[in-house]
Chains A and B, each alone.
Chain A
Amino acid sequence: MKAFKNPLIALLAMGALALALEFGFNAFFQLMAMFILVNCLMSMSLNLVNGYTGQFSLGHAGFMAVGAYAAAYGSSHVHIFPEPFLMGNYVITTLLAGALAAFAGLLVGLPSLRLKGDYLAIVTLGFGEIVRVALLNMDFLGGPRGYSGIPSYGNFISGFLFASFWVLLCFFTIWRLMGSSHGRGFLSVREDEIAAEAMGINTTRMKVKAFVLSSFFAGVAGAIFAHITSYISPSSFTFLQSVNAVIMVVLGGMGSMTGSLVAAVIVTILPEALRPLQDLTGIDLRMVIYSLALILMMILRPKGLFGAMEFGDVWRKYVKRSS
């Protein structure tokens, strides 16, 4: 188990997975796998804000949109590296996309993070909507027509490895961060803000830090999303997308990285798995089931699937006991 905590080994594992997916499954599963990676990024980054820092952000789709459009625009216009090193271009555009999204996070976070609970939720929701409306009006980005013709990553393996790299980066960054004093700062903000302030922690700064980091990875998720579906439009980044991210975090357990990952997989696969049922009944059951799940989770198991435990803790608690 300890081996998995080493980033290089994790990267190799993802590489093996990439090969397996390339040769064992068809393009539909490959597309699903890429969507799962995007959702992993969204849920892990939102987990940092909602789970560890205890702030409720409902505007994650806005940051994703910023990243997606920035990357789309960048990929169509930035061509620094020649042919064999095309991926280099993508690294740069994705970094810039993330940075732009992080900047947006700073702009949104600074004024709003003084607000509490409900109000923060509404303000972030508002920000998500404002981003969408602004994008609708930017004709050079396509406006309502959307932005088409975004270049793809080439073959599946390079795309998958590229996305996995970012997922692992996000995972290990947050993992290590939570183990440091910054992480404890985040947790203290969640537990009791007034006590944290009394202990000398600048809670607003902590919240903004979490927000900015989370927006960075949301922007990266958006960038990857833009490249796997070669067409994006403002209607892909509505409030529903933010709710999607929230559902993943809540389902997985607010404060559990493993939970976010597992929930991301479930949430991506579920609509496709439900399709036969949907064709049968002819109605869009996915959102109905999600919202019902949200309510029931909150009433019956507010901790989510994993609570605040990680995979290692679950292993120790449930599996080791039997041995």
Chain B
Amino acid sequence: MQDFVQHIINGISLGSIYALIALGYTMVYGILKMINFAHSDVYMVGAFGAYYIARAFGIEAQPGIGSLAILLVSSMIACSILGLAIERFAYRPLRNSPKLNILITAIGVSLFLEYSGQAVFGADPKVFPEVMTDHTLATIFGVDLKSFDLTVLGVSILAMLGLEFLIYKTKLGKAMRAVSANASVASMLGMNPDRIIAFTFVVGSALAGIGSVLVGMKYPKIDPLMGMMIGMKAFVAAVLGGIGNVGGAVLGALIMGLSEEMVVAYFSSTYRDALAFGILIVILIFRPAGLLGKYSVEKV
């Protein structure tokens, strides 16, 4: 029994990490109808950005909330700038091209970031600075609840609520929804689609930045290919919940995290990654809109 509860806790904590990244995928897809393959690599760059800033300021020696804040801010800034650059230079020129071209470009950007990361940062893993220690906050059923896990879960839920508020209750959110529905009409009505899209990328990337710092604290090993698998699973989570739907991203991510944990615990760890793709295939065949999504008919 104790083990089962431990697995549930592990699964939820894994899922909340996927949630932070899945939110980025879902936002970009919602507005541009494209899968931003490079999102997970933006996440990776955020982790390295925080790593190098920490080294530059010698933060390792001063753990505490202040250092954490510095790491978070530097990661968010690095990610946002990178996200903006990618949008401006790689995606914007292809705004009116066939979907296939954008997809190929996205893959190209992802690979470029990964391999330049290897070239610039070095392919072997680095150790993320330890700025906060992990405490046990509570114990239920004999299983410890650690502060890191609760922080990540809390941040994901906060992010989700914040995004829901942004998209449905603010003027900016209304503009985002308008651009998503029909960009040319939106521009005729006075909105600047380029700015709105850029803003969306910034928000998504900033979330990835937060995610990378939190993950770096929990699993202190970072390397240039760290985004690959996490990104894939976060994407599947977003699709599972209904891509374009903010609540769906978090729900899908939690389900992904839990099922992955259960498969590894009770079945075999080798199928851990294959599970993600299995879920994707099943969802796309039986309920392509996702759990919380709406199915839209393609018009001629």
- Determine whether A and B are in direct contact in the complex, meaning some CB atoms lie less than 8 angstroms apart: yes
Tell me if B94 and A121 are in contact (CB < 8 A). Answer: no
Tell me if A288 and B116 are in contact (CB < 8 A). Answer: yes
Question: Which of B35, B102, B115, B300 is A291 in contact with, Cβ under 8 Å?
Answer: B115
CB proximity of B200 to chain A, nearest CB, Å: 17
Contacting residues of chain A (86-129) with chain B, CB-CB under 8 angstroms: 111-112, 114-115, 117-119, 121-123, 125-127, 129
C-alpha spacing A189/B35, complex, angstroms: 22
Q: Per-residue CB proximity of B112-135 to A under 8 Å, as 1/0?
A: 101110110001000000000000
CB proximity of B183 to chain A, nearest CB, Å: 18
**For residue A117, which residue of chain B has the nearest CB?**
B99
**For residue B113, which residue of chain A has the nearest CB?**
A291
Tell me if B90 and A118 are in contact (CB < 8 A). Answer: no
Tell me if A299 and B104 are in contact (CB < 8 A). Answer: no
Contacting residues of chain B (59-117) with chain A, CB-CB under 8 angstroms: 90, 93-94, 97, 99-105, 107-112, 114-116
C-alpha spacing A293/B110, complex, angstroms: 13
User: Is A130's CB within 8 Å of the partner chain B?
Assistant: yes
Tell me if B274 and A117 are in contact (CB < 8 A). Answer: no
Tell me if A246 and B107 are in contact (CB < 8 A). Answer: yes
User: Is A31's CB within 8 Å of the partner chain B?
Assistant: no
Tell me if B274 and A123 are in contact (CB < 8 A). Answer: no
User: Is B185's CB within 8 Å of the partner chain A?
Assistant: no
Known: A115-B288, A127-B277, A294-B111. A285 touches B119 (CB 8 A): yes
C-alpha spacing A126/B280, complex, angstroms: 9
Tell me if A123 and B284 are in contact (CB < 8 A). Answer: yes
Contacts of A137 in B (CB 8 A): 270
Tell me if B111 and A290 are in contact (CB < 8 A). Answer: yes
C-alpha spacing A67/B115, complex, angstroms: 29
User: Is B157's CB within 8 Å of the partner chain A?
Assistant: no
Known: A126-B281, A129-B277, A130-B278. A136 touches B99 (CB 8 A): no
Contacts of B90 in A (CB 8 A): 295, 299
User: Is A177's CB within 8 Å of the partner chain B?
Assistant: no
Contacts of B239 in A (CB 8 A): 119
**For residue B277, which residue of chain A has the nearest CB?**
A126
Contacts of A243 in B (CB 8 A): 107, 111
Question: Which of A129, A283, A288, A299 is B112 in contact with, Cβ under 8 Å?
Answer: A288
Tell me if B273 and A133 are in contact (CB < 8 A). Answer: yes
Tell me if A117 and B111 are in contact (CB < 8 A). Answer: no
Extra inter-chain contacts (19) besides given A56-B103, A122-B35, A299-B93, CB under 8 Å: A50-B100, A56-B100, A58-B107, A111-B285, A115-B284, A117-B99, A118-B35, A123-B284, A130-B274, A130-B277, A194-B300, A283-B118, A287-B115, A288-B115, A288-B116, A291-B112, A292-B112, A294-B107, A294-B112
Enumerate chain B interface residues (CB-CB to A < 8 A).
34-35, 90, 93-94, 97, 99-105, 107-112, 114-116, 118-119, 123, 232, 235-236, 239, 270-271, 273-274, 276-278, 280-281, 284-285, 288, 298, 300
